[in-house]
Amino acid sequence: MRKVLIRSGAVVAGALATVLLAAAPASAHVTVNPSNAAQGGYAKLTFRVPNEKDNASTTQVEVNIPQDTPIASVSVKPLTGWTATATKSKLAQPIKSDDGEITEAVTKIVWKANSPDTAIQPGQFQEFDVSAGPLPETDKIVFKALQTYSDGDVVRWIEEPAADGKEPAHPAPTLKLAKASSVSGAATATSADANGSGTAKAADDTARSRAGLGLGFGIAALVVALAGLVLAGLAWRRRPAS
């Protein structure tokens, strides 16, 4: 019976660990929305930046546009409480346009909070909007991003998915591009994201749903384990005296 109690205790401990893991919030990443767009088109890109720390705020966000997939026109939407600075660089390969060759393009945008009050506080997120186009003829654009906290910590969101498809610890915001003819409903998706719904909201809802489901299973396992431990204890108390 002693072995039964020990095993029951181990089951309870495992169930409790499951509940705690299920209840822990999933790590939020810096993302770009929409996640899909058409080659050659224009798009409103929204970089969503969550604050992942409990004791520091996000004071600066840097987004880099790779020179090997340049975008001819990039403009930044003003954001109250933040100052945006766009840096242009000379391109190794000029972009051909109807107005001639474009030799320079925006390769970096930095948003900086004007004061501690406008920084991204713990438990909050902020969205930074950019209008960009024409989008290059490539399958994706990887926007490497840096997130600076008030305590001096800098989180580098620069990793691309591994060959086995596993998501890295600090994935870079990635925009997938397809031929214009194969992108159905791209304009609708972009409009939905602009109104605060669409891809990003759906992803957040799915994550919350999965977290709730995992928590429910964890609680159920804990209840069953506790019931087993109680029954084992009662059986131990009622055992015949030796």
Query: Is the pLDDT assigned to residue 25 strictly greater than 50?
Result: no
pLDDT tens digit string along 107-145?
A: 999 999 999 999 999 999 999 999 999 999 999 999 999
pLDDT on residue 189: 46
Query: Is the pLDDT assigned to residue 36 strictly greater than 90?
Result: yes
Burial class, 126, CB count within 10 angstroms (exposed 0-12 / middle 13-18 / buried 19+): buried
Spatial contact of 128 and 36, defined as CB atoms under 8 Å apart:
no
Average pLDDT, rounded, for the chain: 78
How far apart CA 145 and CA 135 sit, in angstroms, is 19
Class of CATH domain 31-182: mainly beta
pTM (2 d.p.): 0.67
What the block records as the tokens of 178 is 């397809």
How far apart CA 209 and CA 159 sit, in angstroms, is 27
Query: Is the pLDDT assigned to residue 222 strictly greater than 90?
Result: no
The strand ranges marked E within the chain are 31-33, 36-38, 43-50, 58-64, 73-76, 82-97, 100-113, 125-133, 140-142, 145-149, 154-157, 174-178
Query: Is the pLDDT assigned to residue 192 strictly greater than 60?
Result: no
**Residue linked to tokens 């890295």:** 168
Phi, psi (deg, nearest 5) at residue 94: -60, 150
pLDDT on residue 99: 74
CA dihedral angle for residue 88, residue 97, residue 70, residue 43, rounded to 10 degrees: 100
How far apart CA 52 and CA 59 sit, in angstroms, is 13
pLDDT tens digit string along 59-70?
A: 999 999 999 999
Query: Is the pLDDT assigned to residue 199 strictly greater than 90?
Result: no
Query: Is the pLDDT assigned to residue 149 strictly greater than 70?
Result: yes
Contacts of 167 (CB under 8 A, 6+ apart): 161
> Percentage of residues in the chain with pLDDT exceeding 70?
64
The mean pLDDT of 174-199, rounded to a whole number, is 61
Spatial contact of 73 and 147, defined as CB atoms under 8 Å apart:
no
pLDDT tens digit string along 53-101?
A: 999 999 999 999 999 999 999 999 999 999 999 999 999 888 887 778 8
